[in-house]
Structures are given as C-alpha cells and as structure tokens.
Amino acid sequence: MAEHVAKSPALDVPPEPPAKRIKLSPQPKKQDADDSGPASPSATPLVADLAEQLDAQERNKYVKGKKLGSGQYADVFSAYLVTDPTQLVAIKKIKVGAEVKEMGISYDSLREIRFLQELDHPNIIKLYSVFSTKNQNLNLVLEQLPQGDLLKLIQDTQNISYTPADVKAWMLMLMRAVHFCHANFILHRDIKPNNLLIAANGEIKLADFGLARSFADPYQPMTYNTITIWYRPPELFFQAQFYGGAVDVWSCGAVFAELISRDVLFRAWPESEMNMVKLICEKVGTPTEENWPGVSKLKGYVTPTEIQPVRPKDYWLANFRTIGEIGVDLLMKMLTLDPKVRLSAEGVLKHEYWTSAPRPSKLEALPRKGGGIEVMGEDLKRRGGEVPGKENERGDKVARKIDFGAAK
Amino acid sequence: MSRLAQQKSSPVARRDGGAVRPPGDSLLTPQDGELPTRQMDRMSLSYSTHTDSPATEVCPVCKSTKYMNPNLKFLVNPVCYHKMCESCVDRLFSHGPAPCPIKGCSETLRKNRFRKQTFEDIKVEREVDIRKKVAQVFNRREEEFASLREYNDYLNDVEDITFNLINNIDIEETQRRFKNHEDKWKENIVENASLAQQEQMLYAEQQKAEREQAKRRREEARREEMEERKEAEATRRDMLRRLENGQDPEEVKKERAAVQLKKRQNRQDAANRQSQLKAADATNGSSSFVIKGLKNKKAKLEPEAPVDPFGGLTFEHSYFSLQDDYVWEGLREAKRDPLIAAGGYDIASFTGRALCEAFSGLGVMVADEAVERERLNEPETLSTTKAEIAAKDVKMEDPF
Ligand SMILES: Nc1ncnc2c1ncn2[C@@H]1O[C@H](COP(=O)(O)OP(=O)(O)OP(=O)(O)O)[C@@H](O)[C@H]1O
Ligand SMILES: [Mg+2]
Ligand SMILES: [Zn+2]
Ligand SMILES: [Zn+2]
C-alpha cells in the first residue's frame, strides 16, 4: 500500500484554512509560509464523467431524513440506506463557501475527508463514503452518532449528573483518539466538547477534522491562528509557528477541567486573545523564561508587567478535588505552560490516573441525554453508530488507509 | 423541617444557639460541590410575602407577572436561591458570572447553575439540595461497619449534620465536620458512588430482563393456545370429511382419539421443556440478584482485568526502530533554533514520521494492488466514489 493515500486531483488542498474558519480572532496577513497557492482542479473529462456517474450511484443509495444539527460550515442530516432502512448514517452536507467558487471544493471538507479516511479507531468518527451533488455540494457519509455531543451533557446540569469515574471514562476515550491521531502524525487542532460526539452505545467519537493537518516538517511554519480560542494553548497566543501534539493536549486538559467543574476553564469574555492570555496567567501562571525557556523569543510574547507565579498543586486541588490528587496531577501536567514539558498524548495515557481508583465507568453506565434505560437498552444492541453488517464493505467505500507499521 | 432519622437528639442548646451567619463567610468556596447553606434567613424574610399563587407571581427583578406574560418561567440558583424570571437570567448572566440582582444579596451567580424550581416551597427545594449533597459525601455502606450499632451511630451523625446545615445551626463546626469527612473518605466516597451507580444499572437491567421474560412467556402461551385451537378445528374437519366419504364412524373416532393422545403428549413434552428453560433463565438471572442484595463489598467487585489505557493498541514498526537522536545535517539547525523548541515542535516526531513514511512502502505487494485496481474497474463495483477512483491513479504530494 502506498504511503501517501493518493487522491483525486480535486483533493489537492491549499494549506491552512481560510478566514471563515478562523477561530474568533483577526486573520494575520500572509503568515503562512506554506501558503503555496491554490492547486489546479484538473480532473480529466473522462474521469469526471465516470465520477459523475458514480456520484449519482452513491447518492441514490441513501434516503435523506431530518436534520441532526448544523455547524459553522455544514448541515448534518440523518439518512438511511435505500436497501435497508435500519442502516442509519449521517450525511454532512458542506455549505458552499467563498472558496468553492475558486476551488470547486471547500478546504475544510478536504481536510476532513483526507484525515478521516486515514484514521480507523473506535473513538474517531467513521467516514463511509463521499459524494457530491449537482451544484458541487460535497456530502460526507459519516457514521450516525445519535446521542449528541459532550457539551450538551456538560451543560445539562439540571438533568444530568455524572461521577469522577464517568469523567475518567470519557477522558480515556478522548485521549485514545488523540494519541491515535498523533501516532499517525495528525494534529486535530479543534478539540472541544462540542466536537466530541456520543455514539448510541455511549462511546465518545472525536469528530470535525476541518482544522486538522499532518505534522509539519522542520522549518515548515504552521498557522498559529487555529483551535477555538477558549481551548487554545499559550504557545499559539504567542504566535509560535513550529508546534506539535502538545497543542491538542492543552485542549484536552481544558476539556478535562470543564468536565469536572461543568464550566469552561478559560472563558475569556470578551473573547479576545489578550483576555485569554490574562486568564491563563491568572489560572496557571505567567509564562516566563524560568518556567518556559525560549518563550520570550516567540513573536507574540509580551513581557508581563506583573508575574503570577505558577500555581501550586494546592491551588488546583482546591478547585478540582473531585478527581483526587492523582487526577489533579495529570490535569496540571496537561495544562503545563511550556509545551516541551507538557505531557504528550502518549505520556498522558501512561499516567497512573487511568489505572488508579475509581475504574473508568463502563460504557453502559455512562449517563446520556434523554431516553431512559429502556431506550438505551435498545441502543446497546447495536455497536457504536456503526451501520450493522457494513464493516467489511466500508474499506471499499473509502480510499484505503495507510499501513502505519504494524498498528494493531 | 423534618428530621428523618429520629434517634438520639443532640443538645437543645446547640440548636437554639444557631446564629445568623453573614453571607460569604462559608468555609467552602462558591463552586460546584458547594453546600447551599447561606442566606436562608434573609431569603425567607424577603420571600415570605411572595409565596402567592403562581398566576400572580412577580419577577422581583423586572416585575413581569404570569398574568402579563403567560410564558414567564422562574429559575433559582442554588447559591442564594433568589428566584427570578428566565429572561432576567438571560439578560444578566449571559456574559459570564455576575452578582445577584436582588437587593442586599452579593452572591456571584453563573448562568449555567440556574434551574427550574422543583418544589413550590423554596425551603423544601433547598433542603432537598442539602440532603442530596450530604448523601453524596456521606455514602458509606452498611457492609463497611462491623455491627449494625455502629452503622446506626453513623447514620445518626449524618442526620445531625444534615439537620444543622438545613437550619444553619453551628454552621462552622458542621461544615468543618463535613469537610473532614469528605477529605478523610475521599477515595471511599468515589468508589461507593460508582458502586451505587453500577448497582442501579444492574437493577434496572435486571428489571428489564424480567419484564422481557414475562412478555416472552405470555406470547408463548398465546401461541400455544392458538395452535391448539387450530389443531382442534383441523381434526374436526378431517373427521367430517371422512364421515362424508363413508368411513366407519367408530373407526374414525378411535383414530382421532389416538391422534389426540399423541398430540397431547407432544404438548406435554414442550411444556416440560419450557419450564426447564424457565428454571435455567431464573438461575442465570439470579447472578444479578446476588449483586443487588450483596452484603460483602469485596465479593461484589468481581475480579476485572486491569485497565489498559492504550486499549490494546501498540505501535510497533516492523521495518525499523527509532533512535533517540539522529545526526543529520538537515536537522542540526532545527535542533538549535530556539523558536522551533519554544513552540513545542518535536524533532523526534519528525524523524519518526519520516522513517515511517520511508518504510511503509515495503509492505506493498504490487501484484495485489494491480488485482485491486482490476476489481475496481469491474462494473459491479462501480459503487465507488470519485475520490477512490482517483485514489488509485493519482499520487499526491502532501499539500498541507
Ligand atoms: N455523525 C453525526 N451524527 C449525528 N449528529 C451529527 C453528526 N455529525 C454532526 N452532527 C451534528 O451536527 C452538528 C454540526 O456538525 P459539525 O461539528 O461536524 O459541523 P461544523 O460545521 O464543523 O461545526 P462547527 O460549528 O463546530 O465548526 C454537530 O454539533 C452535531 O450536533
Ligand atoms: Mg463542530
Ligand atoms: Zn424578570
Ligand atoms: Zn441572591
């Protein structure tokens, strides 16, 4: 199998996402040196004809149903197979944006397709196939995840209560997904509770790969203007262009804290970068050369006027004591200022938190929105959001994955 | 306020001595997990006049009434329990934590903690909250105590603490006891909470299984009855037909009796089998019964495999092994560049990726790929998509 999964010429993607997906901060001009200009959408007519036929065939396999939700750049519908109405999928219809006129296809969806087809993991949403419609609308056929997202659970403080063991189970699934991405050299760059969808059986699925990218080569700068602002790590506020998996680990740490306190950890208001840095200084500590060698060399670093020393363990314990001392230790190591010192996803999974008491909750014991035990019992019969009986065919729908050594 | 466990009473003086506590001097910080203890006194003062019928309820902040606006909904925040309407909550707290607008109340409230009032009487609401909080922390189980006596003493203490918290008696001392217990039993609390949850789950599951079994049995019985009726009808018709055809009535009668005997025996066998199955079901199901009423905590936690954080995933490279460091001209500069290091860029992850990509071609069997391509071009597999077709033909540089 080839090490690059080759793709349609139309899938030749320009580098970083355009302004539309910029996460609430002004777009810096020309900051990406890897901005190599748009690639040519040069499908040969023959391929295009055939492709159109195939598209129609793929499209006609599904019956579209009610809307499941919509986001900044897509509407998501429920759908089922014509041949078997019990087989549910979700069709994510990409909204046509400005760049579509230019490119014929949206960057974000390309990222999403590109990475999702490479990743096959129980905690990462599955992409079954892709088709387009007349007006160049791109449709991703995804596994349907009918239980909403983690944000809905966190916010429903009236009806949903959960235990430290539940938090551990959710975080473990999240960290496995992130570790898997990193082990496959992919950065997600948009980890937050509403991108963590919940499958019928309670499994967490990392979704929305619209901002993902592969690890950069040395000297290949990346954008610092990524990750939803509340979940963005300090190095990106300081405009670092060479970064790694540590950015996702910070976001995971923020999700961890949010799960425990049921409130956003760094809720800057108004949502400016300056306020975010202020909040991070206040809650974690002020980044200095002492606690983060080299930080002052970063382009966006502002020499602080007053210094909040790095918060000690007691401070964290006072706020997050429900997860115990070991849990707090992990949380602090995920929210360490210096990305070199911050745990990697692998380091997080090696922490003793996971194996110490309490055991992470079993899937069936995890709280879920609405539908009581009865409904859940029904759901449990099906595995995940998987289309029953489709496992073997899936590989044929989506371009084949890279074989990363012996990833077993 | 009611005291549930009527056991030995605490000294009366303590109860009378409950001073009005100034707000904000609680031992616990106003966060989740906090005990709703404050301000009850002031609150009952300001609201005793407002417990009128729901139709004339007035929002103390914007003065809207149910009469003017039938959709008016009231919310309370379990920090100070001041009631206000939903639109006031939206307006005041959407931009983050803000002070309670009720005059004289200085609590900082968060929007996501507002909720509908469950009980009409706000005092009951607060008592239920306190009871919930206490029950969460004081969740020791009977099986942890050597004797029933000790368990009862413990329950009594818990009720004392609950009573004091509800009535603002000896509040500092009580909160200290609460916190001491919470710290001392931290791990046990967490463990018992998850045990309780598991039991609840098991119980619910078992109830469901029982209901399903009952339903199956009913259906089975109905099916049998129908079959019996059908059979009887068929035999009757058969007999009539034979009589019409001029067979000897005695003969027909005898034959019919024999057939019916045989059928009855078959049914008997089936019934036996059914009851055997039922018995087997019951013994299988009984394992969850044991868990439900089990006394011994240790026995309840069946040995489970230790948690594997990696979920059985290992990343082994079949073609190479990674060194800690590579001396290569192209990387030397990067290693020294403070900008690259400060942002958290990890050179080792690059060398790892480079090697992985360099070696991943070794697993390719060109012949297999060709066969695959053939297959894709056959008409019956035309269900493939645009992306795939191209996937086999076009080699793409990493464009990101
Ligand atoms: N596979 C799925 N199954 C069920 N619902 C889904 C699925 N995928 C997405 N949704 C719903 O649709 C919403 C939007 O999806 P998604 O986050 O992928 O779109 P987006 O445009 O990237 O959103 P964002 O605003 O976060 O950028 C989700 O919040 C979720 O409620
Ligand atoms: Mg999203
Ligand atoms: Zn009001
Ligand atoms: Zn108040």
What is the CATH number for B74? Answer: 3.30.40.10
B66 belongs to a structural domain: yes
Q: Which atom of ligand 1 is nearest to the CA of A69?
A: 12
Shared domain for B98 and B140, answered yes or no, is no
Shared domain for B73 and B168, answered yes or no, is no
d(C-alpha A298, C-alpha B337), whole Å: 11
B322 belongs to a structural domain: no
Crossing angle, helix B171-184 and helix B148-166, to 10 degrees? 130
Q: Would the pLDDT of A281 be above 80?
A: yes
Q: Is the CB of A116 under 6 A from ligand 1?
A: no
Shared domain for B105 and B156, answered yes or no, is no
Tokens of B35: 């005990």
d(C-alpha B40, C-alpha B45), whole Å: 8
Q: Could you confirm whether A190 is annotated as catalytic?
A: yes
Tokens of A36: 């190599």
| Residues A326-339, mean pLDDT to the nearest whole number | 97
Shared domain for B109 and B146, answered yes or no, is no
Phi then psi for residue A12, to 5 deg, are -65, 115
Q: Would the pLDDT of B119 be above 50?
A: yes
Contact indicator for A38, A102 with CB cutoff of 8 Å: yes
| Residues A210-217, mean pLDDT to the nearest whole number | 88
Q: How many domains does chain B have?
A: 2
ipTM of the complex: 0.73
Reported as a single tens digit per residue, the pLDDT across A224-243 is 999 999 999 999 999 999 99
Phi then psi for residue A198, to 5 deg, are -115, 125
Q: Which residue in the set B29, B95, B385 is minimally distant from A129, CB to CB?
A: B385
- Cis omega (within 30 of 0) on the bond before A9? no
CB-CB under 8 Å, B309 with A172: yes
CA dihedral for A371, A376, A381, A382, sign (positive or negative): positive
Q: Is the CB of A65 under 6 A from ligand 1?
A: no
Q: Cβ contacts of residue A351 below 8 Å, gap of 6+?
A: A326, A329, A330, A333, A343, B309
| Residues A324-334, mean pLDDT to the nearest whole number | 96
| Residues B342-369, mean pLDDT to the nearest whole number | 70
B86 belongs to a structural domain: yes
First to last CA, chain A: 16
Residues 304-323 of B with CB under 8 A from A: 304, 306-307, 309-311, 313-319
Contact indicator for A123, A205 with CB cutoff of 8 Å: yes
| Residues A334-351, mean pLDDT to the nearest whole number | 97
Q: Is the CB of A67 under 6 A from ligand 1?
A: no
For residue B248, give how far its alpha carbon lies from the nearest alpha carbon of chain A (Å).
57
| CA dist list (Å): A319 to A258, A265, B182, B194 | 11, 11, 14, 21
Distance A20 CA to ligand 3 centre (A): 37
Half-sphere exposure of A399 (CA within 13 A, CB side): 27
Single residue among B163, B184, B205 that ends a domain in this structure: B184
d(C-alpha B113, C-alpha B66), whole Å: 23
Amino acid letter, A327? G
- Residues in chain A with CB shorter than 8 Å from the CB of B306 are 355
pLDDT of residue A105: 58
From the annotation, which residues of A make up the binding site for ATP? 93
d(C-alpha B344, C-alpha A242), whole Å: 7
∠ CA A202-A203-A204, nearest 5°, is 115
d(C-alpha A358, C-alpha B5), whole Å: 31
DSSP notation for A186-212: EE-----GGGEEE-TTS-EEE---TT-
Tell me which residue of A8, A275, A225 sits closest to A130, measured CA to CA: A8
Shared domain for B47 and B141, answered yes or no, is no
* Nearest bound ligand to the CA of residue A93: 1
Shared domain for B89 and B148, answered yes or no, is no
Per the model's pLDDT, the better-predicted residue between B363 and A36 turns out to be B363
Shared domain for B107 and B143, answered yes or no, is no
Shared domain for B19 and B109, answered yes or no, is yes
Q: Is the CB of A322 under 6 A from ligand 1?
A: no
Enter the pTM of the model: 0.55
B143 belongs to a structural domain: yes
Residue B87's region, left for phi above 0, alpha for psi from -120 to 50, else beta, is alpha
What single DSSP character describes residue B17? T
Distance A252 CA to ligand 2 centre (A): 15
Which of A149, A166, A190, A379 does the annotation list as catalytic?
A190
Shared domain for B139 and B105, answered yes or no, is no
pLDDT of residue A118: 83
Q: Which residue from A68, A107, A205 has its CB within 8 A of the most atoms of ligand 1, so it is best to mutate?
A: A68
pLDDT of residue A237: 97
Tokens of B131: 């009871």
Per the model's pLDDT, the better-predicted residue between A74 and B12 turns out to be A74
Shared domain for B112 and B15, answered yes or no, is yes
Contact indicator for B104, B39 with CB cutoff of 8 Å: no
d(C-alpha B345, C-alpha A241), whole Å: 9
Within 10 Å of residue B183's Cβ, how many Cβ atoms? 10
d(C-alpha B33, C-alpha A213), whole Å: 39
A247 in contact with B at a CB cutoff of 8 Å? yes
Report the C-alpha dihedral over residues A98, A99, A102, A105, rounded to 10 degrees. -120
pLDDT of residue B53: 52
Single residue among B95, B117, B139 that ends a domain in this structure: B117
DSSP notation for A107-148: HHHHHHHHHHTT---TTBPPEEEEEE-TTS-EEEEEE--TT-
Tokens of A262: 């049921």
pLDDT of residue A405: 32
B398 belongs to a structural domain: no
d(C-alpha A323, C-alpha A341), whole Å: 22
Single residue among B69, B95, B117 that ends a domain in this structure: B117
Phi then psi for residue B99, to 5 deg, are -70, 150
Domain ranges, residue B41: 11-117
B303 in contact with A at a CB cutoff of 8 Å? no
pLDDT of residue A359: 92
B369 belongs to a structural domain: no
B52 belongs to a structural domain: yes
B379 in contact with A at a CB cutoff of 8 Å? no
Q: Cβ contacts of residue A112 below 8 Å, gap of 6+?
A: A127, A140, A208, A209, A210, A212
Q: Is the CB of A128 under 6 A from ligand 1?
A: no
| Residues A334-354, mean pLDDT to the nearest whole number | 97
Q: Is the CB of A68 under 6 A from ligand 1?
A: yes
Reported as a single tens digit per residue, the pLDDT across B22-60 is 333 333 333 444 454 444 443 333 333 344 455 568 899
d(C-alpha B388, C-alpha A58), whole Å: 12
Amino acid letter, A84? D
Per the model's pLDDT, the better-predicted residue between B242 and A235 turns out to be A235
CB-CB under 8 Å, A15 with B400: yes
Residues 123-142 of B with CB under 8 A from A: none
Crossing angle, helix B386-393 and helix B366-377, to 10 degrees? 140
β partners of residue B315: A407
Shared domain for B103 and B171, answered yes or no, is no
Range of weakest confidence among A128-137, B48-57, B141-150? B48-57
Residues 9-68 of B with CB under 8 A from A: 29, 31-33
Distance B233 CA to ligand 4 centre (A): 78
Shared domain for B136 and B55, answered yes or no, is no
B284 belongs to a structural domain: no
Per the model's pLDDT, the better-predicted residue between A256 and B203 turns out to be A256
Per the model's pLDDT, the better-predicted residue between A329 and B300 turns out to be A329
Provide the percentage of residues in chain B whose pLDDT is more than 90.
Answer: 18
Contact indicator for A210, A13 with CB cutoff of 8 Å: no
Per the model's pLDDT, the better-predicted residue between B361 and A153 turns out to be A153
Within 10 Å of residue B92's Cβ, how many Cβ atoms? 17
Residues 84-123 of B with CB under 8 A from A: 95-96, 110, 112-113, 115-116
